[in-house]
Amino acid sequence: MVELELEDGLAVVTIDRPHARNAIDLATMAELEKALDAAEGALALAVTGAGDRAFVSGGDLKELARLRTEPEAAAMALRMRAVCDRIAAFPGPVVAALNGHALGGGAEVAVAADVRVAAEDVRIGFTQSRLAIVPAWGGAERLARLVGPGRALLLAGSGRVLDAAEAERAGLVDVVLPRAGFPAAWRELARGLATEQAREIKRLVTLARAPEEAAAAFARLWVADEHWEAAERVMSRGK
């Protein structure tokens, strides 16, 4: 389920799938598209997850495992890439409030925002390589812009997971806040960016896009045996 709140010029989108640690499936993508439609006109946008365990734990493997062909995998990748592109291109400032861990696709959603605010006990990592696939939702390109190509290659290539303090030092997270009072603190920060001035500053930001190339690479790896062997290991741990 995806919830939308509108208050004082701030639109807050919350991904609420506790049974899947806020992982994203096709239905969630559709709900995100509708939420972004409804958020049009807000001065600022915030994206967060429900609870305190996960921001977004990536794609929902148990749901997405039904996609077994390259065209299906590419279509899924392009659809969620389009969602992340819409988040990045939102006219006003966008805040990712990392209430919990942001892993794999969750890290890709996080870097689509302009500002990342994390609770102090949060971990973030581009862990797609552990599934023998690559980021396909725009995360690799956005990560490189944030931390530089070399560090992006090291982080995404190794699947290394950073704690909040490490992520802040690397430039991957902008603000680290105490866990106690985190919801109120990030909302106050986000409301402070819901201004016409901040909206004008956002206009200076541009993004290059090459979604087809990234989706094609993702799709080739998605249908490979190595990916499904890794996916089965991950899914079997949840049984």
Tokens matching residue 107? 């890290």
Mean local confidence (pLDDT), 97-118: 98
Domain that holds residue 142: 2-201
The HSE-up count of residue 74 (CA atoms within 13 Å, CB side) is 12
Q: What is the mean pLDDT of the chain?
A: 93
The whole-number pLDDT of residue 205 equals: 57
**Residue 41, pLDDT above cutoff 70:** yes
47-78, pLDDT tens digit by residue?
999 999 999 999 999 999 999 999 999 999 99
6-20, 80-94, 194-208, 218-232: segment of lowest average pLDDT: 194-208
Query: CATH code at 140?
Result: 3.90.226.10
Is residue 219 one of the residues assigned to a domain? no
**Residue 133, pLDDT above cutoff 70:** yes
Q: 2 near 20, Cβ under 8 Å? A: no
The whole-number pLDDT of residue 239 equals: 58
Is residue 106 one of the residues assigned to a domain? yes
50-54, 91-95, 140-144, 203-207: segment of lowest average pLDDT: 203-207
**Residue 123, pLDDT above cutoff 80:** yes
Is residue 40 one of the residues assigned to a domain? yes
**Residue 117, pLDDT above cutoff 70:** yes
The whole-number pLDDT of residue 199 equals: 86
3-state secondary structure of 178: coil
The pTM (predicted TM-score) of the whole model is 0.90
The whole-number pLDDT of residue 111 equals: 98
Q: 104 near 143, Cβ under 8 Å? A: no
188-236, pLDDT tens digit by residue?
999 999 998 888 877 765 544 467 777 887 888 899 898 999 999 988 8
Is residue 73 one of the residues assigned to a domain? yes
Task: Decide: residue 205, CB within 10 A, 0-12 exposed, 13-18 middle, 19+ buried.
Answer: exposed
3-state secondary structure of 224: coil
DSSP 155-170: HHHHT-EEEHHHHHHH
From residue 205, alpha-carbon distances to 78, 126, 152, 231 in Å are 22, 23, 20, 36
Strand spans (E) along the chain: 2-7, 10-15, 44-49, 54-56, 94-98, 101-103, 115-119, 123-125, 161-163, 175-177
Is residue 220 one of the residues assigned to a domain? no
- Counting the structural domains of the chain, the total is 1
Q: What percent of the chain has pLDDT over 70?
A: 96
Q: Is the dihedral of CA 132, 22, 44, 121 positive or negative?
A: negative
The whole-number pLDDT of residue 210 equals: 62
The whole-number pLDDT of residue 196 equals: 86
Round to whole Å and give the CA distance between 107 and 172: 10
- Per this entry, what is the length of the chain? 239
The whole-number pLDDT of residue 207 equals: 46
Is residue 9 one of the residues assigned to a domain? yes
Element (H, E) at 152: helix 149-158
Is residue 218 one of the residues assigned to a domain? no
Is residue 211 one of the residues assigned to a domain? no
